[in-house]
Structure 1
């Protein structure tokens, strides 16, 4: 049971979407903590698990709002605990029934729900889970109507444009990302920073892996805060409808402005690609990190009031926030899109559009970069322990998003295996960038292999001439 509970909690954390989804992942985490430690599942175990789950839900939210999943979880747990010493079936049945009763009352607590004629979606999700648990425990389940699925309340005309979730209507974007390699102290700082940027803030997780959700107007600042705390990935940005509940206040206006993209790029071929796409380039990359002063000077030299920074390397990413802060102090509007590879930067540049509002542009670029999976091939210079085993000088290493996953002897073969891994989870466009030390004809051979093995995938090849990495790969 322990392994199953742990897998459930981890899967919920990784897959959570939206405010309610992230909170629900904490509920599953609470259930897993208690039930995973039990050899068998008793009524008392379920009572403790529901109580712990509700407590974690409330702890996850910066500003708890009643009439949401929080209320349904708490009232369900309280009702189950109030039964005292009874059998397992009775506890689960009461938890489900109390959840449905609480769900029916959510429109009384949130005017937005009443206006829309609906109940809280997150609370409804909890009811579905409890119904499933009841069916498992009883082998038959309740004879009542599932989740009171048609619970509706009279709606007025404003319900046609009801407010989303339970956050303030002052924020135009939902930003969500997973965060790894983050210390607990850094997450505390991140939570405080995001709390000052927006609302509907939920930060959940532990042991170095977190799921972060917030509503903001400044998308770039939210992502940058994540960069400073750890390693954000699976970044998603959603722009809410222009009209929410009949009106919305926003600090963003459609206007024509000067805007520039400043990118840190290694290799003459990549520099040319980026410049052709309209970016201002700072030379740098692995083993050649630009300084904060160099990045700041590039922002100044761009002569633009709004600037997007593309670090394109994990080490460069560490110095970019300081440069961005210094530029903001001089009056520039600066956003950091946390690209860790030049192929992610190319994906971001492909969707850049200076005619739309700055936050919209940053959101689109961040989403394009975040949806680009990347890999690279290099050569070991010393003996070292890796995730794939011991490597020795001269070994060809295949890295998947920064982690060594393959050790081989041939650049092309390792490149093929990396592409196969990247394409296992799908993809429509492959980017192949060869480095200064790449074997002659490498790109052509890989493109031919892709055409034969993955005919539905579009592939592009470029001579990047970057040092240290004979091959960079991206899949969108």
Structure 2
């Protein structure tokens, strides 16, 4: 086997890493005590590498069809991208950034030691508050050892790839053994860092892929707990006392400036913050008590999707608890009697908002009480209610109700969330599905300008019809129906499968028919559904999923 890193070697690396993590996943899960003792680090690393391997195989399959061979740059970048979109947990997210750093340098033609150095630097930058004695320390030691091997080589100025990967593995192994001396929680449990142990497995697979021989496996006696490993808290309240209750992960499409603001906001909300990626696509990981606020921060920064929310009290449970599947309610804030009836039919307890007079937190708390449920999903359906809803959720939690706040910004997002609500699922799974459905729904509305003013679409006059998309004015018109058609075209220009129309009492007669006909004739693959919102509702709400 040639002792170099080429496209086939990267392919073998993915396969061997997945095989090794599959064998050692349970051992790694068993020593997982930091940052949360949720026993899933090995599993998360396995799933992250599995996604990376699938991306690599897709590159090879594409080249086999064309009769050519992929080059190293394409394959290593595919590996990094696959890890990014499939990253799970704290360690999996950091591993994705390590691979991104390697791909960045190898793509520029640098040797492996420089790639490992960049990987370690990029991973450390991605973690809001780096801690020694973790996967970051192991990655840094691997890079240091590889670079030292290069510096010690006199002929040619650099060590060969095989020498570099062997040195990296040895450096990582020594650093892993030292992690209990760096992190007190590891020392108390008598274990090494689980993420670092997983990275050592991945580096061992790299040694085997490049050198053709597997490195010696560390003595497992030093990598197993010698004392009872702390278990996750039994409920959300005790989680709040010993650490955040939820792990939130999502992919995010956003620019660098928006992500910088997002980092600052999420850092205030929780801990274990890791944001990896670049070039407009990011993987966000954070531990928080208010999962809805973490998702809402992503919505404000860009477009979050593949949202996963895990409640730490369920992480180690062997199966569903029937008690968690009973007495679940949904509370939704709506404008208009028609929307109230629609949400009521879907099983929600509704709060009817009055024009110009949003409900107070006390009204929302009372609605949560009226739901008579131990678990409640709260849908504010209005950006302006974000803080009010958060205050209500906090008060209800203090009364012993488990509340998840989904930051819906419009009634059509609330409708989308209710459409996938399934009370027979586990609470966290139901919240994830509802949050994802709401986040995948873009919204628009019509309003009538009350005075002359500047907008993001230009100057409007009193009486003009304004078409707003995601809260910003996108269209200014004179006729409500024609403005609605233009607004709908703007919404569908970026794609969509389902259009939801909610018509208020002031909507002109025939508007629904006109819009449904327009969609049917112009957008063949798009379905349309229309509802009557009632007199209090805005003239028209549009949702596009």
| TM-score of the pair, normalised by structure 2 | 0.59
2:274 to 191, 198, 202: 202
For 1:138, the equivalent position in structure 2 comes to none
State the SS of the aligned residue for 2:534. coil
CA distance in structure 2 between the partners assigned to 1:26 and 1:469 by the alignment: 45
Q: Classify 1:394/1:175 alpha carbon distance in 2 versus 1 (closer, same or farther; 3 Å).
A: same
- Kindly indicate whether the alpha-carbon contact (under 8 Å) linking 2:457 and 2:475 is maintained by their aligned counterparts in 1: yes
- Kindly indicate whether the alpha-carbon contact (under 8 Å) linking 2:293 and 2:405 is maintained by their aligned counterparts in 1: yes
2:363 to 271, 291, 294: 294
Q: Classify 1:173/1:250 alpha carbon distance in 2 versus 1 (closer, same or farther; 3 Å).
A: farther
State the SS of the aligned residue for 1:288. coil
For 1:3, the equivalent position in structure 2 comes to none
What is the CA deviation profile of residues 231-277 of structure 1, one whole-angstrom value per residue up to 9, with x for unaligned ones? 3752543378x9x9xx9457973434212111100012111111111
For 1:423, the equivalent position in structure 2 comes to 492
Q: Displacement of 1:26 after TM fit?
A: 7.0
1:175 to 240, 248, 267: 248
Q: Classify 1:345/1:101 alpha carbon distance in 2 versus 1 (closer, same or farther; 3 Å).
A: farther
1:369 and 2:438 equivalent?
yes
For 2:517, the equivalent position in structure 1 comes to 448
For 1:234, the equivalent position in structure 2 comes to 304
Q: Displacement of 1:392 after TM fit?
A: 2.2
Q: Classify 1:297/1:388 alpha carbon distance in 2 versus 1 (closer, same or farther; 3 Å).
A: same
Q: Classify 1:465/1:117 alpha carbon distance in 2 versus 1 (closer, same or farther; 3 Å).
A: same
Q: Displacement of 1:212 after TM fit?
A: 3.3
Q: Classify 1:111/1:68 alpha carbon distance in 2 versus 1 (closer, same or farther; 3 Å).
A: closer
CA distance in structure 2 between the partners assigned to 1:361 and 1:435 by the alignment: 30
For 2:286, the equivalent position in structure 1 comes to 214
CA distance in structure 2 between the partners assigned to 1:254 and 1:193 by the alignment: 31
For 2:373, the equivalent position in structure 1 comes to 304
Q: Classify 1:111/1:151 alpha carbon distance in 2 versus 1 (closer, same or farther; 3 Å).
A: farther
Between 383-392 and 264-273, report the one with greater CA deviation.
383-392
1:464 and 2:530 equivalent?
no
- Kindly indicate whether the alpha-carbon contact (under 8 Å) linking 1:73 and 1:99 is maintained by their aligned counterparts in 2: no
1:253 to 307, 318, 321: 321
2:124 to 34, 58, 62: 58
Q: Classify 1:113/1:76 alpha carbon distance in 2 versus 1 (closer, same or farther; 3 Å).
A: closer
Q: Displacement of 1:18 after TM fit?
A: 3.0
What is the CA deviation profile of residues 7-31 of structure 1, one whole-angstrom value per residue up to 9, with x for unaligned ones? xxxxx9xx86635786589789999
What is the CA deviation profile of residues 346-381 of structure 1, one whole-angstrom value per residue up to 9, with x for unaligned ones? 111111122222222212111111111222222222
Number of residue pairs matched by the alignment: 408
Q: Classify 1:288/1:80 alpha carbon distance in 2 versus 1 (closer, same or farther; 3 Å).
A: farther
Q: Displacement of 1:98 after TM fit?
A: 5.1
For 2:387, the equivalent position in structure 1 comes to 318
Q: Displacement of 1:340 after TM fit?
A: 0.4
What is the CA deviation profile of residues 152-188 of structure 1, one whole-angstrom value per residue up to 9, with x for unaligned ones? 7799xxxxxxxxxxxx995997522459998989955
State the SS of the aligned residue for 1:231. helix
State the SS of the aligned residue for 1:294. helix
Q: Displacement of 1:436 after TM fit?
A: 2.0
1:348 and 2:417 equivalent?
yes
- Greater share of residues in helix: 2
Higher alpha-carbon Rg:
2
Q: Classify 1:333/1:446 alpha carbon distance in 2 versus 1 (closer, same or farther; 3 Å).
A: same
Between 258-267 and 459-468, report the one with greater CA deviation.
459-468
CA distance in structure 1 between the partners assigned to 2:425 and 2:318 by the alignment: 15
Q: Displacement of 1:443 after TM fit?
A: 1.0
Output the aligned Cα RMSD: 5.2
CA distance in structure 2 between the partners assigned to 1:237 and 1:231 by the alignment: 15
CA distance in structure 1 between the partners assigned to 2:264 and 2:142 by the alignment: 29
Q: Displacement of 1:336 after TM fit?
A: 0.4
Q: Classify 1:103/1:304 alpha carbon distance in 2 versus 1 (closer, same or farther; 3 Å).
A: same
Q: Which runs of 5+ in 2 are unaligned?
A: 1-80, 177-191, 218-229, 234-244
